[in-house]
Amino acid sequence: MLATIVPTSTWYLILGAVLFGIGMVGVLVRRNPLIMFMSIELMLNAVNLTFVALSTQLTDINGQTAVFFVLVVAAAEVVVGLGIIVAIMRRRSDISVDDLSALKG
Amino acid sequence: MELFVFICAAAMVLAGALGVVLRSNPVHAALSLVLTLFGIAVMFVSQQAEFLAAVQVVVYAGAIVVLFLFVIMLLGVDRAENLETESLGVQRPLAIILSLGFVALLVTTIVQGRDSLNMRGDGLITADSGDHDANIRQIARSIFSNYVVAFEVTSVLLIVAVVGTVVLARKRKSEKDLTGVSA
């Protein structure tokens, strides 16, 4: 009986939504910039999962092409973000975004 | 069988995601992220996006997470932080309520709109057609014909990111050295 149930694209979309929500909680709740970056990666992956699920459902390759570009931009984003974190950590030893209010107007 | 794969991959994805958010040690969080990324790659395979699954493992699990771990070790922040005493106050329950509401909104939209997804694109060529490289071939045709400008722009983006990171993370000497010939 269970073998006849095939996961449809709706299942993947819902999983993507839940994953996005978990990533959102991570960005909002955690104060370690590294963990916040990882949570952003979670959200990007949720979007990738949604893209691929819809690409399969709509039989359109453009969804998978979009995921390719998201991957490239995510890599660039992580590289620049971690560079900024390293540069900040050179000046102060504590790592918490609450302390980084020097630019506050 | 497909159901079994989906359940296992979903369990991997959710367990890893919760690990990223809840583990107090950054190293553990990064390793949980690997679990999530592998689960996503399994889901790509089960949806016949084999190229993206391979790229996912190579780029995310192979490069991005290693970069994360590298920075964690480099900065020496691989110790557990106390999650309880963070000065967040009302923000934490507010964030959880906000996210739950957002997920509920998304799930409602997905369930309500699931019947409207019957449009057809140009068609996907999967490995079932006998050509085992069909997915790669089709993505390549898409990238290098319709999206070739975007592809070139991403190469510029990568160059900018590399140069920017080198400049940002460079160890600054004293003022005299900065104005000197040998930077």
Note the ipTM here.
0.88
- Site from A65, A95, A96 to mutate, B interface, most B CB atoms within 10 angstroms: A65
Query: Is A97 touching B (CB cutoff 8 A)?
Result: no
Higher pLDDT, A103 or B40: B40
Residue B100, domain member (yes or no): no
Q: Among A65, A72, A79, whose Cβ lies nearest the Cβ of B142?
A: A65
Distance (Å) from the C-alpha of residue B181 to the closest C-alpha of chain A?
23
pTM of the model: 0.87
Residue B51, domain member (yes or no): yes
Query: Is B169 touching A (CB cutoff 8 A)?
Result: yes
Residue A53, domain member (yes or no): yes
Q: What is the CA radius of gyration of chain A?
A: 18
Residue A26, domain member (yes or no): yes
| CA distances (Å), origin B112, targets B98, B105, B109, B115, B121 | 21, 11, 5, 8, 21
Query: Is A71 touching B (CB cutoff 8 A)?
Result: yes
Find the mean pLDDT for residues A5-26. 90
Q: Do B102 and A62 touch (CB under 8 A)?
A: no
Find the mean pLDDT for residues A51-56. 91
Residue B174, domain member (yes or no): no
Contacts of B156 in chain A (CB under 8 A): none
Residue B36, domain member (yes or no): yes
Residue B148, domain member (yes or no): yes
Q: What is the secondary structure of B109-177 as a DSSP string?
A: HHHHTGGG-----S----GGGS-TTHHHHHHHHIIIIITHHHHHHHHHHHHHHHHHHHHHHSPP--HHH
3-state helix, strand, coil in chain B (%, to 5): 75, 0, 25
pLDDT per residue over B34-60, tens digit each? 999 999 999 999 988 889 999 999 998
pLDDT per residue over A54-81, tens digit each? 988 888 888 899 999 999 999 999 999 9
- What is the pLDDT, as a whole number, of residue A85? 85
CATH number of the CATH domain containing A36: 1.10.287.3510
- B143 is in which domain, residue-wise? 124-169
Residue A102, domain member (yes or no): no
Higher pLDDT, B118 or B68: B68
B70 and B136 in a common domain: no
Q: Phi/psi of residue B31, each to 5°?
A: -70, -35
Q: Among A13, A45, A60, whose Cβ lies nearest the Cβ of B110?
A: A13
8-state DSSP, B180: S
Residue A6 has pLDDT above 80, yes or no: no
- Site from B7, B25, B43 to mutate, A interface, most A CB atoms within 10 angstroms: B43
pLDDT per residue over B10-32, tens digit each? 999 999 999 999 888 889 999 99
Q: Is B114 exposed, middle or buried (0-12, 13-18, 19+ CB in 10 A)?
A: middle
- A67 is in which domain, residue-wise? 10-91
The dihedral of CA B154, A15, B118, B134: what is its sign?
A: positive
Query: Is B8 touching A (CB cutoff 8 A)?
Result: no
Q: Where a domain ends, among B21, B49, B79?
A: B79
Distance (Å) from the C-alpha of residue A50 to the closest C-alpha of chain B?
10
Q: Is A24 exposed, middle or buried (0-12, 13-18, 19+ CB in 10 A)?
A: buried
Nearest partner of A52 among B132, B20, B133, B124, judged by Cα: B124
B129 and B64 in a common domain: no
Q: Do B111 and A10 touch (CB under 8 A)?
A: yes
Q: Do A37 and B10 touch (CB under 8 A)?
A: no
CATH number of the CATH domain containing B36: 1.20.120.1200
Contacts of A12 in chain B (CB under 8 A): 43, 47
Q: What residue of A is the nearest CA neighbor of B80?
A: A32
Cβ(B25)–Cβ(B110) under 8 Å? no
Residue B115, domain member (yes or no): no
How many structural domains comprise chain A? 1
| CA distances (Å), origin B17, targets A39, A54, A61, A79, B33 | 8, 22, 27, 21, 7
| CA distances (Å), origin B165, targets A80, A81, B107, B146 | 5, 8, 38, 31
Distance (Å) from the C-alpha of residue A105 to the closest C-alpha of chain B?
21
How many structural domains comprise chain B? 2
Nearest partner of B60 among A25, A37, A13, judged by Cα: A37
